[in-house]
């Protein structure tokens, strides 16, 4: 039952994935910076089967889960704040819910670095302003160390979309409670189903922003 609910969630999320709406459809290769357990990668791969995905993350347990999803051609264990790839070596570089885990200076340097690595497009997401989060499980890298606003990225030449509801899907809301994982999944799915509404009425969104730029 748990596996079935996870598959249903992924299928629905793949069609309502805002990154899918924003990514250039002729994209052939993506560097997924801070790929985590590969959820963002599999959501894109379910819609773009010919996509060449490379993921990089520092947490081995997440990399093992990402590898089991069978959607990445290559996975590398590395500190995302120190990645080094040739200029223009990937069509798109995504960095989703990552920069807030770095201090502000290192996060800004990472943004500059991935803009150099990307050939056509950069897609970045991060919580809207302050969002408290400590370690999750045994992963000390999940702590939030900085915060960003949509306006900061607009000033850097990015277009921005506002998404999500903090109470439904963040560690400040229901996801931090002691209710069963099944109910937590229901609330996550509800947040996903509301994605079109957030896109049409951005004032309803208060969780995170997606910043995207063509190069």
Question: CATH number, domain at 206?
Answer: 3.40.50.150
- Domain assignment of residue 25, given as a range: 2-214
Query: Nearest-5° angle of CA 22, CA 19, CA 42?
Result: 140
Per-residue model confidence as pLDDT tens digits over 115-170: 999 999 999 999 998 776 666 666 666 778 898 999 999 999 999 999 999 888 88
Count of domains in the chain?
Answer: 1
Rounded Cα distance, 34 and 173, in Å:
23
Look at the chain and count its residues.
215
Strands 159-163 vs 208-214: parallel, antiparallel or unpaired: antiparallel
Q: How many percent of the chain have pLDDT more than 70?
A: 92
CA-wise closest residue to 99 among 87, 90, 108, 91 = 108
Exposure of 89 by Cβ count < 10 A (0-12 exposed, 13-18 middle, 19+ buried)?
middle
Confidence of residue 56 (pLDDT cuts 50, 70, 90): very high
pLDDT at 3: 44
CA-wise closest residue to 15 among 209, 182, 184, 195 = 195
Structure tokens, 215 = 């190069």
Q: What are phi and psi of 4, to 5 degrees?
A: -60, -45
124 three-class SS: strand
Q: Is the pLDDT of residue 113 over 70?
A: yes
Q: How many percent of the chain have pLDDT more than 90?
A: 69
Confidence of residue 176 (pLDDT cuts 50, 70, 90): confident
């Amino acid at each position: 039952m748990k596996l079935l609910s996870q598959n249903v969630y992924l299928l629905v999320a793949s069609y309502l994935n805002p990154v899918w709406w924003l990514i250039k459809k002729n994209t052939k290769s993506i560097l997924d910076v801070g790929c985590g357990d590969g959820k963002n990668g599999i959501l894109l791969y379910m819609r773009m089967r010919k996509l060449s995905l490379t993921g990089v993350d520092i947490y081995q347990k997440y990399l093992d889960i990402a590898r089991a999803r069978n959607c990445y051609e290559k996975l590398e264990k590395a500190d995302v704040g120190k990645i080094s790839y040739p200029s223009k070596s990937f069509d798109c570089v995504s960095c989703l819910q990552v920069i807030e885990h770095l201090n502000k200076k290192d996060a800004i340097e990472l943004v500059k670095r991935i803009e150099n690595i990307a050939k056509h497009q950069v897609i970045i997401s991060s919580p809207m302003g302050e969002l408290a989060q400590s370690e999750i499980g045994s992963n000390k890298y999940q702590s939030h160390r900085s915060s960003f606003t949509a306006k900061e990225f607009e000033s850097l030449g990015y277009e921005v979309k506002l998404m999500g509801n903090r109470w439904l899907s963040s560690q400040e809301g229901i996801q931090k409670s002691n209710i069963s994982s099944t109910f937590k999944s229901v609330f996550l799915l509800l947040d996903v189903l509301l994605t079109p509404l957030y896109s049409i009425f951005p004032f309803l969104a208060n969780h995170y922003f997606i910043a995207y730029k063509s190069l």
